């Protein structure tokens, strides 16, 4: 204590100096912004002075800055939280396009809070500030995703969670084609995930083909099952369709459980061939990945590779969806969601339109399933139960049906919060339920509830919230 006596007084003087500078800057900034008011409510334009307001604002800045400086020089833990708070304010401000405020707080935060994990946040803030909320956010997320393994290389736990999140993002995007675009409520999407996983596992074990050969095959099988599901439900809509798809999901699971000669029943399929780096296995042998590229063997190599595989698969799903929306088939999906009778009256075959939606949605589910199988190395029917379907559907609905970025955010939030609340195992679903109710109350049309038109003549125009479907099937 005594040794810090001099340090303490210098802290105080530092803080005072900081506060004084901040006060002067605030005075200079606000004297015109707040100190004067032009008022034409009573007759001609008048200039009113507001000295009390100005003084109190400047006073608040002075005191605030003084306290912050004290904390900044004194208490690292508080500083840490303050930094987080600053970033939160920043993100909030950026969300509402108060670019200047966001930028001010971003600078303030970066001065206080240097944690290495903070760079993605800063990136998002800067990008949203300068490129605009929508594209900036997407671009920042993409850069963050691509650089993620670089930042968290030393932390395989985070990498694992990121892979799970991306799997759900991909599943959400896949289901989004069926539910969000074509408007066909599908409660059995996990069936296609299962078909993809099992077809990968069985083909890879039986024929020893590589991941890159089996992956498209798994997708094809799943698409085939999508068409298989599509045919009997063509005439159904809404609730009835949901019930049949729910049953379909259960049928697939029960078949997997009981067709023991093919699927090994409840014991599942183990020792599924692991993904290789285009033929080079990830193992410590001479022919392994590490040895080939002159690196030291590290099991994280495989994890990083898997991360990039699922990232690529998810991005392909997204890209294909975006492209399809601009093609006649994608526009027919959206029109079908709006009004089936009108679609038929325009000479579009609703049967083919629905079947392609089911098939393409199922194909991406199958890709995700194949990835799941190769990552886990073991699959059993337990992984493909109804709650899984419900989770994927919740991701699509919460994300805002049809919105790609919304689905990605919802998948991240849901999956990450499941990890976050792992300690409160038995309350997880309660929290999940509350979150769900909360979102449906405050954002009934999903997190991102605008629909971007796919065709423009002159300018882009966002579509206002009121006209995006509420949680209807």
Partner 1 sequence: MTEPLLSIKGVSAFYGSIAALKGIDVEIMPGEIVTIIGANGAGKSTLMMTICGNPQAREGSIIFEGRDITDLPTYEIMRMKIAQSPEGRRIFPRMTVFENLQMGAATAEGGDFRNDLARVYSLFPILEQRSTQRGGTLSGGEQQMLAIGRALMSRPRLLLLDEPSLGLAPLIVRQIFSAIRDLNQREKLTIFLVEQNAFHALKLAHRGYVMVNGRIALQGTGRELLERPEVRSAYLEGGR
Q: Which residues bind partner 1 (CB under 8 A)?
A: 328, 331-332, 334-335, 338-339, 341-350, 451, 453-461, 463-464, 467-469
**Closer CB to partner 1, 25 or 463, in the complex:** 463
**Closer CB to partner 1, 348 or 410, in the complex:** 348
The least CB distance from residue 445 to partner 1, in Å, is 11
**Closer CB to partner 1, 239 or 339, in the complex:** 339
Answer whether 370's CB lies under 8 Å from 238's CB. no
The least CB distance from residue 461 to partner 1, in Å, is 5
Separation in Å, CA 146 to CA 137, 166, 293: 14, 12, 21
**Closer CB to partner 1, 401 or 407, in the complex:** 401
Phi, psi of 20 (to 5 degrees): -65, -45
Select from 238, 229, 187, 175 the least CA-distant residue to 395.
175
Residue 267 belongs to what H/E stretch? none
A 10 A CB-CB count for 75 gives 12
The least CB distance from residue 353 to partner 1, in Å, is 10
The least CB distance from residue 453 to partner 1, in Å, is 5
The CA-based angle 145-276-139, given to 5 degrees, is 15
Select from 411, 358, 374, 317 the least CA-distant residue to 197.
374
**Closer CB to partner 1, 43 or 347, in the complex:** 347
**Closer CB to partner 1, 374 or 449, in the complex:** 449
**Closer CB to partner 1, 134 or 331, in the complex:** 331
The least CB distance from residue 452 to partner 1, in Å, is 10
A 10 A CB-CB count for 379 gives 24
The radius of gyration of the chain from alpha carbons, rounded to an integer in Å, stands at: 27
CA distance 79 to 109: 10
The least CB distance from residue 455 to partner 1, in Å, is 6
The least CB distance from residue 396 to partner 1, in Å, is 16
A 10 A CB-CB count for 354 gives 24
CA distance 290 to 311: 22
């Amino acid at each position: 204590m005594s040794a810090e006596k001099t340090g303490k007084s210098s802290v105080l003087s530092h803080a005072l100096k900081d506060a004084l500078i901040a006060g002067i800057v605030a005075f200079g900034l606000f004297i015109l912004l707040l100190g004067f008011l032009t008022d034409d409510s009573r007759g001609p334009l008048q200039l009113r002075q507001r000295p009390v307001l100005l003084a109190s604002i400047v006073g608040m800045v002075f005191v605030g800055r003084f306290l912050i400086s004290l904390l900044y020089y004194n208490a690292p833990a508080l500083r840490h939280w303050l930094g987080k708070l600053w970033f939160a304010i920043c993100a909030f401000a950026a969300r509402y396009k108060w670019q200047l405020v966001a930028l001010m707080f971003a600078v303030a935060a970066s001065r206080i809070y240097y944690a290495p994990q903070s760079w993605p946040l800063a990136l998002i803030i800067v990008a949203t500030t300068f490129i605009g909320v929508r594209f900036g956010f997407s671009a920042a997320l993409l850069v963050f995703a691509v650089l993620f393994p670089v930042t968290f290389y030393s932390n395989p736990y985070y990498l694992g969670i990121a892979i799970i999140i991306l799997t759900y993002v991909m599943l959400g995007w896949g289901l989004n084609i069926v539910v969000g675009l074509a408007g066909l409520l599908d409660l059995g999407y996990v069936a296609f995930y299962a078909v993809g996983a099992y077809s990968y596992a069985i083909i890879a074990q039986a024929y020893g083909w590589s991941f890159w050969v089996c992956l498209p095959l798994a997708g094809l099988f799943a698409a085939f099952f999508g068409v298989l599901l599509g045919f009997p439900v063509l005439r159904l809509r809404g609730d009835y369709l949901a019930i049949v798809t729910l049953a379909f999901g259960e049928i697939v699971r029960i078949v997997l459980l009981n067709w023991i000669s093919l699927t090994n029943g409840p014991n599942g399929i183990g020792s599924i061939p692991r993904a290789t780096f285009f033929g080079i296995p990830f193992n410590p042998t001479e022919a392994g990945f590490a040895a080939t590229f002159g690196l030291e063997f590290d099991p994280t190599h495989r994890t990083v590779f898997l991360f990039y595989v699922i990232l690529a698969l998810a991005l392909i799903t997204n890209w294909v969806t975006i492209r399809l929306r601009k093609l006649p088939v994608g526009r027919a999906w959206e029109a079908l969601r709006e009004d089936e009778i009108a679609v038929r009256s325009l000479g579009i075959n609703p049967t083919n339109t629905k079947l392609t939606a089911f098939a393409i949605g199922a194909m991406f589910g199958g890709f995700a399933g194949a990835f799941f199988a190769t990552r886990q190395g073991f699959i059993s029917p337990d992984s493909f139960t109804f709650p899984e379907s419900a989770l994927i559907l919740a991701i699509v609905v919460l994300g805002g049906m049809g919105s790609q970025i919304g689905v990605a955010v919802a998948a991240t939030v849901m999956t990450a919060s499941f990890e976050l609340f792992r300690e409160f195992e038995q309350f997880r679903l309660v929290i999940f339920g509350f979150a769900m109710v909360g979102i449906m109350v405050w954002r009934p049309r999903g997190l991102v509830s605008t629909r971007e038109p796919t065709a423009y003549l002159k300018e882009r125009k966002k579509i206002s919230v009121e006209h995006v479907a509420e949680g209807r099937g």
